[in-house]
Amino acid sequence: MQMTLRWYGSKYDTVTLKQIRQIPGVTGVISTLYGTAPGEVWETADILALKKEIQDAGLELAGIESVNVHDAIKVGSPDRDRYIDHYITTLERLGQAGIHMVCYNFMPVFDWTRTELARMRPDGSTVLAYTQKAVDALDPEKMFDSIAGEMNGAVMPGWEPERMARVKELFEMYRDVDDEKLFANLKYFLERIMPVCDKYDINMAIHPDDPAWSVFGLPRIIINKPNILRMMKMVDNPHNGVTFCSGSYGTNLENDLPDMIRSLKGRIHFAHVRNLKFNSPDDFEEAAHLSSDGTFDMYEIMRALYEIGFSGPIRPDHGRMIWDETAMPGYGLYDRALGAAYLNGLWEAIEKQAQRTP
Ligand code: DNO
């Protein structure tokens, strides 16, 4: 595996490449052209400039998170082919620039959903949190406003104000889309992009829906083992793979994370590893990465990744806000650096143990 950190670009991120370079064991970043809208074709010059900036800082651009999928593709509207053509051109240009991993999601309207961005924990750190009660009480059109005040001035991925201003229209678009239609639209999209992925060896890594169930009655399909295996089979190409995000699949306590990892051998192209602390099955907060701070056994998650021979980029995920840092919620420097060091430590121990055991 290659340890990385997500970085939004010098125009948007409070964390610098220099700081990332100083986290022991982090050799790459996962980035994106953060200013681009879903459906836009990415310019080669912009891709190359991003890559060069990262390389000049002594790091590697280990993959893209995300090239976002336009809603026309997700709902399967008549103009979807035009947007798929754009997506293919972007992939071609990424491939030509030597980029081989692209993370994306197929979530309708909202990307990841949290009801609080700064819940205080007993140690005084603040974290992202979710409570179903709050979602049930909320008008979906007010979702953005309900958390906007806690964004620390950042534009949160998937929660761009321009998209959120159209939220009513977006809900209307998805009115007739159920899980089956979403699966069919995803299949159509994947079948069209696989040839370019084969040509340039680009691993597509779908991000799970977070939380891993339907919110506001919208369809959600990338949520559990049966669905993800169905997706792997429906377009049975190794370039059709997944981002294994423990914090997203883990929102549903019925998901056995190490078992899911083992069942996805060869198809995990990217890993987000973080812990959650459950207060009840429908109230959780994003704890520190350490097993003892949350509900998951992080050693078992890392061991499963090791055992399937996972060799792609991995990153610590949302960190707590600690040590008076002000940054995009979940994406400060300090706690993610602690997360990276911890995950590297687990990996070293697992690897050495495995090498010593005959
Ligand atoms: C949130 C992220 C997601 C993820 C996208 C992938 O912090 O995990 O926004 O990047 O769903 O397309």
Which tens digits make up the pLDDT trace of 56-81? Answer: 999 999 999 999 999 999 999 999 99
Residue 235: domain span: 2-356
Structure confidence by residue, pLDDT tens digits, 327-348:
999 999 999 999 999 999 999 9
How far is residue 180's CA from residue 178's CA, in Å, rounded to a whole number? 6
- Measured from the Cβ of residue 318, the count of other Cβ atoms closer than 10 Å reads 26
Q: Which of 64, 186, 210 to mutate to test the pocket of ligand 1 (most atoms within 8 A of CB)?
A: 210
Structure confidence by residue, pLDDT tens digits, 224-242:
999 999 999 999 999 999 9
C-alpha 186 – ligand 1 centre gap (Å) = 17
pTM: 0.97
The residues, any chain, with a CB within 8 Å of residue 150's CB and separated by 6 or more, are: 116, 117, 118, 329
C-alpha 356 – ligand 1 centre gap (Å) = 37
For residue 248, whether the previous peptide bond is cis, meaning omega lies within 30 degrees of 0, is: no
Structure confidence by residue, pLDDT tens digits, 281-314:
999 999 999 999 999 999 999 999 999 999 999 9
Structure confidence by residue, pLDDT tens digits, 109-118:
988 899 999 9
C-alpha 25 – ligand 1 centre gap (Å) = 23
| CB-ligand 1 contact for 105 (6 Å cutoff) | yes
Residue with tokens 């190490």: 258
Q: Assign residue 248 the CATH number of its domain.
A: 3.20.20.150
CA distances from 141 to 63, 68, 119, 134, 340 (A): 33, 21, 22, 14, 36
The total domain count for the chain is: 1
Q: Which of 74, 107, 112 to mutate to test the pocket of ligand 1 (most atoms within 8 A of CB)?
A: 112
| CB-ligand 1 contact for 111 (6 Å cutoff) | yes
Determine phi and psi for 234, rounding to 5 degrees.
Answer: -70, -25
Contact 127, 320 (CB under 8 A): yes
Nearest to 350 by CA among 312, 294, 307, 296: 307
| CB-ligand 1 contact for 209 (6 Å cutoff) | no
Contact 62, 24 (CB under 8 A): no
